[in-house]
A and B are shown apart, each in its own frame.
Chain A
Amino acid sequence: MDWGLASLFLPELALLGTALGLFVVTTTVGGGESADLRRAGAMADRVAFFGAVFAALLALVPAEGQLFFESYAVGGFSQSVKLLLCLGLAGSAWLSRGAARGQVSVRDRPEFHLFLTLATFGMAMLTSATELVGFYVGLELSAYCLYLLVAMTRREGDHAEAALKYFIQGATLSAVALFGMSILYGLSGTTSIAGIGAAVTAEPTTLALAAVLLSLVGVLFKLAVFPFHFWAPDVYEVANDGAASFIAAASKVGAIAALLRLLTLGLGHDGLFWILGGLAVASMTYGNLAALVQKDLKRLLAYSGVAQAGYLLMGLMGRDEAAWSAAIYYGAAYLGLLLLCFIVVVEVGRGREDARLPISAVNGLYKKSPMLAMVLLVGLLGLAGVPPTAGFTGKWLLFKAALDGGAFWLILVAGINNTIAIYYYLIVLKAAYVDDVEDPTPLQTSPLGPKLGVAISLAIVLFGVFPQWVMPRLLDAVAAIL
């Protein structure tokens, strides 16, 4: 055993260790007393959260190298994405802890965290995989964990439908992706992404283009790009907040990383990028228009996510380091912004039996919890791309990358879309800041919730105004995979 090589695998090892710990916790839950169950649940909360934080710290350590017969590359790109994934995991684990709306039954809580951690582990693998088999395994590992997480929502009824919808669509599209990958293998005789990329660039046939597109489908599904988004609104709406926040935030970052890796296959294909541009326009337009009429906050976030995926795809039209690094920057901003929104969802929804959260639930939030109202303000305005948040800076960088890729009219469409989006974000803000509520008793929040939100808000503003703190590093990181 070469310890130098093992050091490359540290974040993943920490995640695996956490999963193992959680597994041990699950075994202690027998048919026992409810006090035991609660204790095990609380233990699982802690193990998952601190495991994720520890893994995030390990991902901060710079590492560079290859593992597993050069099918697994560790470098700036994978480390930064893993850092984000672990932070997202920590956030979601924290949001789904203990009393949070009681949507995951006490008995299931250790398993819930176990699958959450394994899903992150799958995505971490996806980030580093430079070879299609490992890539596909990572994709599926995380996907199956997510299907289970949605199904673990306690109440009877809709969540099962949502989980099933998610599962059937996901499984079908990943079969399609696998089909595309098998064609790529057939064309090039290798499963290494770089090898396929070279072969496809040397002979850019229509079949190769189609195969690349098909293999992208699995990732586009995860990103909820139109027309692969149909699962998202239902899943967000009825899944428990912990799972929904993970699917909405961390899982998107994983999907972005996978997309960036896989897209290097088709860099030489103009046609591929114009198709992606078309998908981007469809996605942002559809997502924004559909979000306009939503009455449920989580559903609205789902449609806004569809639109945001459109902006992201558009940015990739740039096909260079600037575009790739802007995508990661935007993914990081999106992760933080979604966590902000979900902090509000969890705190406001506390005590509700239903996993749904109508927008009217935040009515008068400024009176009931001024701090939480501010968290929501930053979260939504960040998603709307209003300065001085990282959402604005990210959008600027994405738009610039898209224009440098020659997509002037695309960014005009995106700009118009951005205006449409402002409307529904403002509707929610209006509910929180302008609308009055009959019962202005202060909201019972968890002691740390709003404060954590304020801390994340500050980080989002700081990184928005000072993108130079991270962008040079991200530029170096993506240079290695392009």
Chain B
Amino acid sequence: MAWLDAHILTIILMCPVVGLGIVMLIHNGKDLLIKQVAAVSSGLSLVLSLRVWALFDASTAELQMVERVAWLPSAGINYIVGVDGLSLAMVLLTGIVFFTGVLTMWELTNRVKEYFAFTMALVAGVFGVFISQDLFFFFLFYELAVLPMYLLIAIWGSTRREFAAMKLTLFLLAGSALLFPALIGLAHYSGLNTFDMTLLAEADTDWGGMGLILFGFIYVGFGVLAGIFPFHTWSPIGHVAAPTAVSMLHAGVLMKLGAYGVLRIGMIILPEAMGSWAPVIAVLALCNILYGAFVALGQTDLKYMIGYSSVSHMGVVMLGLATMTHAGISGAIFQMFAHGIMTALFFSCVGHIYDRTHTREISRLGGLFHTMPRASTLFIIAGMAGIGVPCLASFWAEFLVFVAAVKTWPIIGILAICGLVASALFVLRVIQKTFFGPPLEAWKDLPDISNGMLPARLILAGTLLVFGIIPGLMLTNLDESVRALVAVLAG
């Protein structure tokens, strides 16, 4: 047990990697076995992320469960993994979405082996990003997480999948084009010749003008993945084209990688530059919130609606970060977590509805509550979380962000709250049109979510409720790390 606890982060990382290796060795066609391997590997990583949560000591802002191996000292590369309050929630989020994503795709029949192989490569990348404390490995895992998306969408997707997959990949990798010089630049211009993020953050480097440029690159490079306005256009069409579980992973965790990158690398290593950039970030975040909400209002396709609502909600995350206050940053991280769970639930319900009705047109659906009470209830829970109804996790997240925003930038904050009203409007409209009203003849005999497929959705809905009712679970863990970060940002 002691050995396990000492290496727990690496072991979590190895879960999908080993799963991938085993799946590659299994003969094509043994679909059930492949799914079982995927379920075990994802289940194990979820259990281990819960263990990390339990082991975490909330009374310090230090990195915990650190492993440090000299990798290529001549190039300043070390293998360093560790979690602090900022990444703890993300690890758990990945574990939950990975596990529920695998369960959601249990009924997949088309090219099962490749699907799970690519998914596990993607998840290995996501875990890797959230635990890496070295820029080389951070970037390695980041790119590893992005690329499988292309094949996952292009092969298993629907509406305009090839176009969407290519657009998504090129957008994200164009972001990487900025990250390459920026991340290597951090090591070079700090004069330390190391990619160790802790050392870079602690060093008393005078970045000067270079800091502003590097931060800009990091903000835009990672921001593309976080869906910041105006680089968000890949995101809704990507969501729409992707198969259910890929949408879950994509909106649930991948977009968080972007915001996390800005937070972990941009804000922590270049706090002065963050101070200068904060107004820009806040204004763009406001654009996200308003633009996403109003465009979502006009959507007729369920997945587009959720896609644009994600753009809006990621704006909330960026706005929280831009306030540079304790409440704002805590809220932003809470929102990353809550939004990840919420959209995963959204997409898994929409996936179920689409698989049965073969349409996502809101106008063609109606009265589904009568035929699919389970799917409808779960969708409504996710919708309520999206609006920020109390007792659900997002409430606390959005509440904290908006309080901080109104304090820091009153006008932006108030406008952002207006966006929230718009989002309430579109969610309620969709719920009303899709699930209530008279039952439609065409959808009368459709099956609801089966008992076997229910647990995945229940886990997601349960998580939203638990963190909504006891927000302290999240906030105590964040407290010290955010306090330390705010102190750094304040100079």
Smallest CB-CB separation from A423: which chain B residue? B170
Task: Give the distance in Å from the alpha carbon of A386 to the alpha carbon of B72 in the complex.
Answer: 19
**Interface residue? B301 (CB, 8 A):** no
The answer to whether B187 touches A386, judged by C-beta atoms less than 8 angstroms apart, is no
Q: Scoring B residues 182 to 202 as 1 if CB is less than 8 Å from chain A, else 0, what string do you get?
A: 001101100000000000000
Q: Scoring B residues 164 to 191 as 1 if CB is less than 8 Å from chain A, else 0, what string do you get?
A: 0010011001101111110011011000
Q: Scoring A residues 419 to 454 as 1 if CB is less than 8 Å from chain B, else 0, what string do you get?
A: 100110010011001100000000000000000000
The answer to whether A416 touches B177, judged by C-beta atoms less than 8 angstroms apart, is yes
The answer to whether A471 touches B74, judged by C-beta atoms less than 8 angstroms apart, is yes
Smallest CB-CB separation from A405: which chain B residue? B188
The answer to whether B155 touches A418, judged by C-beta atoms less than 8 angstroms apart, is no
Contact of B169 among A416, A422, A433 (CB under 8 A): A422
**Interface residue? B28 (CB, 8 A):** yes
**Interface residue? B278 (CB, 8 A):** no
The answer to whether B181 touches A468, judged by C-beta atoms less than 8 angstroms apart, is no
Contact of B151 among A388, A404, A412, A429 (CB under 8 A): A429
The answer to whether A404 touches B114, judged by C-beta atoms less than 8 angstroms apart, is no
The answer to whether A430 touches B147, judged by C-beta atoms less than 8 angstroms apart, is no
Within 8 A of A (CB), among B30-89: 71-72, 74-75, 77
Contacts of B74 in A (CB 8 A): 322, 471-472, 475
Task: Give the distance in Å from the alpha carbon of A387 to the alpha carbon of B124 in the complex.
Answer: 12
| Cβ of B34 to closest chain A Cβ, rounded Å | 13
The answer to whether A426 touches B177, judged by C-beta atoms less than 8 angstroms apart, is no
Smallest CB-CB separation from B17: which chain A residue? A388
Smallest CB-CB separation from B154: which chain A residue? A434
The answer to whether B150 touches A426, judged by C-beta atoms less than 8 angstroms apart, is yes
The answer to whether A411 touches B180, judged by C-beta atoms less than 8 angstroms apart, is yes
Contacts of B178 in A (CB 8 A): 412, 415
Smallest CB-CB separation from B140: which chain A residue? A387
The answer to whether A433 touches B154, judged by C-beta atoms less than 8 angstroms apart, is yes
With A412-B177, A414-B180, A426-B166 known to touch, is A381 a contact of B147 (CB < 8 Å)?
Answer: yes
| Cβ of A478 to closest chain B Cβ, rounded Å | 11
Task: Give the distance in Å from the alpha carbon of A416 to the alpha carbon of B71 in the complex.
Answer: 28
The answer to whether A468 touches B143, judged by C-beta atoms less than 8 angstroms apart, is no
**Interface residue? B136 (CB, 8 A):** yes
Task: Give the distance in Å from the alpha carbon of A414 to the alpha carbon of B176 in the complex.
Answer: 11
Contact of B181 among A381, A387, A415, A433 (CB under 8 A): A415
The answer to whether B177 touches A387, judged by C-beta atoms less than 8 angstroms apart, is no
**Interface residue? B162 (CB, 8 A):** yes
| Cβ of A304 to closest chain B Cβ, rounded Å | 16
**Interface residue? B295 (CB, 8 A):** no
Contact of A404 among B140, B155, B170, B188 (CB under 8 A): B188
Contacts of B155 in A (CB 8 A): 433-434
**Interface residue? B449 (CB, 8 A):** no
Contacts of A387 in B (CB 8 A): 139-141, 143-144
Smallest CB-CB separation from A418: which chain B residue? B177
Contacts of B176 in A (CB 8 A): 415, 418-419
**Interface residue? A392 (CB, 8 A):** yes
The answer to whether B180 touches A434, judged by C-beta atoms less than 8 angstroms apart, is no
Contacts of A397 in B (CB 8 A): 75
- Contact-residue size bin, chain B (C-beta under 8 Å from the other chain): 35 or more
| Cβ of B150 to closest chain A Cβ, rounded Å | 6
The answer to whether A396 touches B136, judged by C-beta atoms less than 8 angstroms apart, is yes
Contacts of A416 in B (CB 8 A): 174, 177
Contacts of B77 in A (CB 8 A): 467
| Cβ of A218 to closest chain B Cβ, rounded Å | 31
Contacts of A400 in B (CB 8 A): 75, 184, 187-188
Contacts of B141 in A (CB 8 A): 387
**Interface residue? A50 (CB, 8 A):** no
**Interface residue? A366 (CB, 8 A):** yes
Contacts of B136 in A (CB 8 A): 396
Task: Give the distance in Å from the alpha carbon of A434 to the alpha carbon of B143 in the complex.
Answer: 21
Q: Scoring B residues 137 to 166 as 1 if CB is less than 8 Å from chain A, else 0, what string do you get?
A: 001110110010011001100000010001
Task: Give the distance in Å from the alpha carbon of A399 to the alpha carbon of B181 in the complex.
Answer: 8
The answer to whether B147 touches A467, judged by C-beta atoms less than 8 angstroms apart, is no
The answer to whether B162 touches A430, judged by C-beta atoms less than 8 angstroms apart, is yes
**Interface residue? A274 (CB, 8 A):** no
**Interface residue? A403 (CB, 8 A):** yes
| Cβ of A96 to closest chain B Cβ, rounded Å | 30
**Interface residue? A17 (CB, 8 A):** no
Contacts of A268 in B (CB 8 A): none
Smallest CB-CB separation from B28: which chain A residue? A370
| Cβ of A56 to closest chain B Cβ, rounded Å | 25
**Interface residue? A408 (CB, 8 A):** yes
Contacts of A467 in B (CB 8 A): 71-72, 75, 77
Task: Give the distance in Å from the alpha carbon of A411 to the alpha carbon of B150 in the complex.
Answer: 25
Contact of B185 among A392, A403, A475 (CB under 8 A): A403
Smallest CB-CB separation from B142: which chain A residue? A387
With A388-B140, A392-B143 known to touch, is A403 a contact of B151 (CB < 8 Å)?
Answer: no
Contacts of B166 in A (CB 8 A): 423, 426, 430
Task: Give the distance in Å from the alpha carbon of A454 to the alpha carbon of B71 in the complex.
Answer: 25
With A418-B176, A430-B154, A471-B74 known to touch, is A403 a contact of B169 (CB < 8 Å)?
Answer: no
The answer to whether A419 touches B184, judged by C-beta atoms less than 8 angstroms apart, is no
Task: Give the distance in Å from the alpha carbon of A404 to the alpha carbon of B136 in the complex.
Answer: 16
Contacts of A381 in B (CB 8 A): 147
Contacts of A418 in B (CB 8 A): 173, 176-177, 180
The answer to whether B181 touches A411, judged by C-beta atoms less than 8 angstroms apart, is yes
With A412-B178, A468-B71 known to touch, is A422 a contact of B170 (CB < 8 Å)?
Answer: yes
The answer to whether A412 touches B181, judged by C-beta atoms less than 8 angstroms apart, is yes
Q: Scoring A residues 463 to 480 as 1 if CB is less than 8 Å from chain B, else 0, what string do you get?
A: 000011001100100000
The answer to whether B144 touches A366, judged by C-beta atoms less than 8 angstroms apart, is no
Within 8 A of A (CB), among B228-264: none
The answer to whether A468 touches B72, judged by C-beta atoms less than 8 angstroms apart, is yes
Contacts of A468 in B (CB 8 A): 71-72
Task: Give the distance in Å from the alpha carbon of A423 to the alpha carbon of B150 in the complex.
Answer: 11
The answer to whether B114 touches A471, judged by C-beta atoms less than 8 angstroms apart, is no
Task: Give the distance in Å from the alpha carbon of A419 to the alpha carbon of B181 in the complex.
Answer: 13
Smallest CB-CB separation from B113: which chain A residue? A370
| Cβ of B45 to closest chain A Cβ, rounded Å | 18
Contacts of A471 in B (CB 8 A): 72, 74-75
Contacts of A415 in B (CB 8 A): 176-181
Contact of B188 among A366, A403, A430, A472 (CB under 8 A): A403
| Cβ of B12 to closest chain A Cβ, rounded Å | 17
| Cβ of B113 to closest chain A Cβ, rounded Å | 8
Task: Give the distance in Å from the alpha carbon of A468 to the alpha carbon of B72 in the complex.
Answer: 5
| Cβ of B148 to closest chain A Cβ, rounded Å | 10
Task: Give the distance in Å from the alpha carbon of A247 to the alpha carbon of B387 in the complex.
Answer: 61
The answer to whether B184 touches A388, judged by C-beta atoms less than 8 angstroms apart, is no
Some 14 contacts from A to B, beta carbons below 8 A apart, are: A387-B141, A397-B75, A399-B181, A403-B181, A403-B185, A403-B188, A411-B180, A415-B178, A415-B181, A418-B176, A422-B169, A429-B150, A434-B155, A468-B72
* Smallest CB-CB A-B distances: 8 pairs: A415-B177, A415-B180, A387-B140, A416-B177, A419-B177, A411-B181, A419-B173, A434-B154
User: CB within 8 Å of A: which residues of B?
Assistant: 28, 71-72, 74-75, 77, 111, 114, 136, 139-141, 143-144, 147, 150-151, 154-155, 162, 166, 169-170, 173-174, 176-181, 184-185, 187-188
Known: A408-B181, A418-B180. 18 other contacts (CB 8 A): A386-B144, A387-B140, A387-B141, A388-B144, A396-B180, A399-B180, A399-B181, A400-B187, A419-B170, A422-B170, A423-B170, A430-B154, A430-B162, A433-B151, A433-B155, A467-B77, A468-B72, A471-B72
